[in-house]
Chain A
Amino acid sequence: MTLVATDLTLERGGKRVLENVRADLAPGTITAIVGPNGAGKSSLLLALTGLIEPVSGHVELDDHRLDAMSPADRAKALGFLPQHAEIAWDVAVENVVALGRLPHRDRGSAAIEAAIDELELQPLRHRPASQLSGGERARVLLARVLAGEPRWILADEPLAALDLAHQLNLVSNLKQRARAGQGVVIVLHDLALAMNHADRAIVLHEGRLAASGAVEGALSQEMIRRCWGVEAKWIGDEGHRALTLEA
């Protein structure tokens, strides 16, 4: 039950965005992908989901290469939550969640109800997408991913558009999934969120792997200086850390 990227090199739009990156991801944990702007975080996530073909290297899910899997099998195993919370048509919440079952080809599954319950969407289930707040929309789209019962959840900046309360809410949902044995991989901008809520971190810098491992080590002050070019200091206790910057 592992997701492993080996010597991954990616190009997008003719530009090299990732070079020889190795990532070893384990289920039951939350892994944060962090790095400065343009470090290749989203590209790594897309490659781990099998959405872009690497120039060299490959991604393996339980020793099976992603590019050799059928799109349906890949889709059943890997649930992807894009950064933009897009719902194009004014579809009711329960029907959006049901879209998560597309790879399984069974629309009336109990998994849809379970996802609606888990994210407390019962009161909203008949509401059209256009009448949802940003926080509600994020919950609906996460429920859509959960409805597919993927073994892995890969999310691109799921917290970026959310206020503090909704951020905490979503983080606790993701933690719950990890405790239930699913693998969770999230691209994060906020290093304090990564430090406090993720188990492991993959630090990218200019398309290369700068560090990877337990968050305490991977997000050390020394690493932040090297990759982000700022003097920063962690304060507070474990699980409640904050980052202060020195001018």
Chain B
Amino acid sequence: MNRAGVIFGLLLTVLVPLSLLAGRVWIDPAATPNAAIILMELRLPRAMLAIAVGAGLGAAGAAMQGYLRNPLADPGLFGIAPMAALGAVASFWFGALLPPAIAAWSLPVFALVGAALAMALLALIAGRTSSGAGGGIALFTLAGLMIASLAGSLTALAITLAPNPFALSEIVLWLNGALTDRSWREVAIAAPLTAAGIAVLMLASRSLDALTLGEDAAHSLGVNPRQLLGLLVIGVGLTVGAGVAVAGIIGFVGLIVPHLVRPFTDRLPSSLIVPSALAGGCLVLIADSAVRVLPLITELRLGIALSLIGAPFFLWLLLRMRSGRL
């Protein structure tokens, strides 16, 4: 474990108990009635979910930035999150068609199917782009962007065709991403998939280091470009797909987190993946606790809150890049 991993690991261990106590109602474990139930059945699963979603997005962001050699890259670029969201939206339409045994799970199941579809599409495209030297990554990224754009339009179509105003508001609200009213059930979906995804991304870390020198140099260092792409698609697919399945669209975490981690490391992609997972957990945990505490009439949606922080951060990054300090 490197220095960044230790720092963000410690931060996370401090944040978890704080976030359990924080909320519209602050909990005093000794005095609040039903404190144990609130903690174990509401706040702990919500905190675990925040960590799982944030860890997946953080690790995926670090891997994507390493793969594309671009500090502005985001896990959303592969089109996996929009496809997972499209799947989730489809569940509002077709969920009722499922057998009752899994109908209760229809939303996460549909979202995961959407993510898997995106991964299959990407694999198909990867199979068709030449494995030869240079340029493959840029082409692949454009293909991912097109998948994202297509999924976005289909989602918009589904929204405009919503059967009734109630369904409409439910879809729109869900798309904005949140961790309210989640239980251990969602943790059981997200945590193992995210852990598997991060493990897959860790397998890619040495190849990502080699990519620092460019595609041809990495290839000459023994990196298999197709194998690396496969690891990235599976790793990002699992982490992002799991996140969307339980929390909706939560943007900017994958973009921001690697930048928070980089100054504490040697800046090689392999040094970023695990610390970015820990820092992503911290960021989403803080943001989710903040939206609970903010004195608004209804709770601010987590996805909106993170976008409000993330968009100015992105602009700041752009300006720093222009002045060559990135």
Binding site for B on A (CB under 8 A): 12-13, 46, 49-53, 70-72, 74-75, 78-82, 84, 86-92, 95-96, 99-100, 102-103, 128, 130, 141, 144, 148
Whether B182 sits at the interface, judged by CB under 8 Å, is: no
B216 touches A51 (CB 8 A): yes
B220 touches A91 (CB 8 A): no
Whether B324 sits at the interface, judged by CB under 8 Å, is: yes
Looking at A74, A78, A89, the one whose CB has the most chain B CB atoms below 10 A away is: A89
Instruction: Report the separation of the CA atoms of residues A81 and B222 in the bound assembly, to the nearest whole angstrom.
Output: 14
Residue of A nearest to B326 (CB): A90
B222 touches A51 (CB 8 A): no
B217 touches A71 (CB 8 A): no
A89 touches B269 (CB 8 A): yes
B216: chain A residues within 8 A (beta carbon): 46, 51, 80, 82
Looking at A74, A78, A88, the one whose CB has the most chain B CB atoms below 10 A away is: A88
A92: chain B residues within 8 A (beta carbon): 266
A72: chain B residues within 8 A (beta carbon): 222
- B187-213 CB mask vs A (1 if < 8 Å, else 0) is 000000000000000000010011111
Selected A-B contacts with CB under 8 Å, 9 pairs: A49-B220, A78-B220, A82-B220, A86-B69, A88-B212, A91-B266, A92-B266, A96-B213, A102-B221
Instruction: Report the separation of the CA atoms of residues A96 and B217 in the bound assembly, to the nearest whole angstrom.
Output: 12
Instruction: Report the separation of the CA atoms of residues A102 and B268 in the bound assembly, to the nearest whole angstrom.
Output: 13
B219: chain A residues within 8 A (beta carbon): 51
Binding site for A on B (CB under 8 A): 69, 130, 132-133, 206, 209-214, 216-217, 219-224, 266-269, 324, 326
A12: chain B residues within 8 A (beta carbon): 132
Secondary structure dominating the interface of B: loop
Task: Given A12-B132, A46-B133, check contact A102 B220 (CB 8 Å).
Answer: no
Task: Given A12-B132, A46-B133, A89-B268, check contact A102 B214 (CB 8 Å).
Answer: no
A88 touches B222 (CB 8 A): no
B268: chain A residues within 8 A (beta carbon): 89, 91, 95
B222 touches A89 (CB 8 A): no
B221 touches A99 (CB 8 A): yes
A88: chain B residues within 8 A (beta carbon): 69, 211-214
Task: Given A87-B213, A89-B212, check contact A52 B133 (CB 8 Å).
Answer: yes
A52 touches B222 (CB 8 A): no
A99 touches B220 (CB 8 A): no
Residue of A nearest to B207 (CB): A102
**A-B CB pair tally, cutoff 8 Å:** 81
A128: chain B residues within 8 A (beta carbon): 267
A91 touches B267 (CB 8 A): yes
Smallest CB separation, A136 vs chain B (Å): 16
A80: chain B residues within 8 A (beta carbon): 216-217, 220
A82: chain B residues within 8 A (beta carbon): 213-214, 216-217, 220
A71 touches B222 (CB 8 A): yes
Instruction: Report the separation of the CA atoms of residues A46 and B206 in the bound assembly, to the nearest whole angstrom.
Output: 22
A100: chain B residues within 8 A (beta carbon): 221
B212 touches A71 (CB 8 A): no
Smallest CB separation, A112 vs chain B (Å): 14
Instruction: Report the separation of the CA atoms of residues A74 and B216 in the bound assembly, to the nearest whole angstrom.
Output: 14
Instruction: Report the separation of the CA atoms of residues A148 and B222 in the bound assembly, to the nearest whole angstrom.
Output: 12
Task: Given A78-B220, A92-B266, A95-B268, check contact A144 B213 (CB 8 Å).
Answer: yes
Smallest CB separation, B263 vs chain A (Å): 10
A71: chain B residues within 8 A (beta carbon): 222-224
Residue of A nearest to B219 (CB): A51
A99 touches B214 (CB 8 A): no
A75 touches B267 (CB 8 A): no
B267: chain A residues within 8 A (beta carbon): 89-91, 128
Smallest CB separation, A149 vs chain B (Å): 13
B212 touches A87 (CB 8 A): yes
Kindly identify which residue among A51, A81, A148 contacts B133, using a CB–CB cutoff of 8 Å: A51
Smallest CB separation, A100 vs chain B (Å): 8
Smallest CB separation, B170 vs chain A (Å): 43
Kindly identify which residue among A13, A78, A86, A103 contacts B214, using a CB–CB cutoff of 8 Å: A86
A130 touches B132 (CB 8 A): no
B212 touches A103 (CB 8 A): no
A103 touches B221 (CB 8 A): yes
B269: chain A residues within 8 A (beta carbon): 89
Task: Given A90-B267, A92-B266, A99-B210, check contact A52 B132 (CB 8 Å).
Answer: yes
A46: chain B residues within 8 A (beta carbon): 133, 216
B220: chain A residues within 8 A (beta carbon): 49-51, 75, 78-80, 82
A141 touches B222 (CB 8 A): no
Task: Given A71-B222, A90-B267, check contact A130 B324 (CB 8 Å).
Answer: yes
